[in-house]
Amino acid sequence: MKTKNRKGIGHGINYWIFVGPFLLSFLLFYLLPVVVGLSYSLYDWNGISNAKVFVGLKNYVNLFTRDKDYWNSIGFTFKFAFFNVILSNVLSLLMALWVTQKLRTSRFLRMSFFLPNVLCGTIIGFLWIFIFNQLLPEVGKVLGMSFLTKRLLGSMSTAWIAVLIVSLWQGCGYNMIIYIAGLVSIDRTYYESAAIDGAGRIKTFFTITLPLLMPSITITLFNTIGGSFRMFDLNLTLTNGGPGKSTQGLALDVYLTAFSENRMGYGQAKGVILLILVCTIALLQTSFTRRREVQL
């Protein structure tokens, strides 16, 4: 409340000196394109010529009624998001539990788990092509393990698993950091009284740790759900949507439609759908997990 009457801080010109430069850039490079994007999606346009034909909602209608690839893309993205969100959260919570034990290797492990997160998504895609296509088959041959010689990236039924593995490898460390912050902020006395009551480790985890971690879970869910739908860099280089468009995430689909097929209007319609999808899911998720937090 005290901040409300800071006379002279937010007055007139000062306010705009501080907020103005960024606000103007923000309106120009973010809000304007988002709004203009809505109108682009109503045109048939190749992006190069000036021949923009107004088609109304036809792009959207075609998207949902005629475009089988788009449904494939939606299917892949939801499947990927589902497994990515669950596995990433389970794995990163396990990592966080491990590295918050008093071990000499904790620091090393924390660093190892987080390292992939600072690497570039497109570059990681290349790196894992090498691992999937060259390294694993070669190692499999030497060790006589035939399952390693099958190339995950080569088949329509398994390529999405490869995307999932690399995405987990890169993303878990980030969630781990958030879980660690949540774990260390839990008051020790809860555990002490649980120990006095004779609760075992597993019981303590489910009755104390997990409920008190709910705020962290809200954050990590929010991040992983959004991240799954926004996945682009990794998708672009690791599979480029293939084989046979089986791993074409929605974000990559927008890019390929616009800049490979030169269908700007159609691509933008896909972009608008992606925007609506991400925002709706995020709103639903936060209102759901928030309610869980309040109950405690």
Residues 225-254, interacting with another protein (CB under 8 A): 226, 229-230, 232-233, 236-237, 250-251, 254
Give min distance, CB of 78 to another protein, in A. Answer: 15
Cis before residue 137, ω within 30 degrees of 0?
no
Each residue 255-284 as x (binds another protein by CB under 8 A) or -, in order, gives x--x-----x--xx--xx-xx--xx--x--
Q: Decide: is 40 part of the binding site for another protein (CB under 8 A).
A: yes
DSSP lists the bridge partners of residue 43 as: 54
Are 176 and 220 contacting, i.e. CB atoms less than 8 angstroms apart?
Answer: no
Looking at beta carbons only, is 139 or 210 nearer to another protein? 139
The residues in 14-33 that bind another protein, with binding defined as CB under 8 A, are 14-15, 17-19, 21-23, 25-26, 28-33
Q: Decide: is 130 part of the binding site for another protein (CB under 8 A).
A: yes
Q: Which of 87, 91, 97, 127 binds another protein (CB under 8 A)?
A: 127
Each residue 152-171 as x (binds another protein by CB under 8 A) or -, in order, gives -----------------x--
State the Cα–Cα distance between residues 258 and 245, nearest whole angstrom: 16
Q: Decide: is 4 part of the binding site for another protein (CB under 8 A).
A: yes
Site size with another protein, rule: CB under 8 A: 92
Are 137 and 148 contacting, i.e. CB atoms less than 8 angstroms apart?
Answer: yes
Amino acid identity at 11: H
State the Cα–Cα distance between residues 15 and 18, nearest whole angstrom: 5
| Part of the chain binding another protein (CB under 8 A), chosen from 64-72, 76-84, 106-114, 195-203 | 106-114
Write b or e for each residue in 114-138: b if 16 or more Cβ atoms lie within 10 A of its Cβ, otherwise e: bebeeeebeebbebbbebbeeebee
State the Cα–Cα distance between residues 168 and 186, nearest whole angstrom: 26
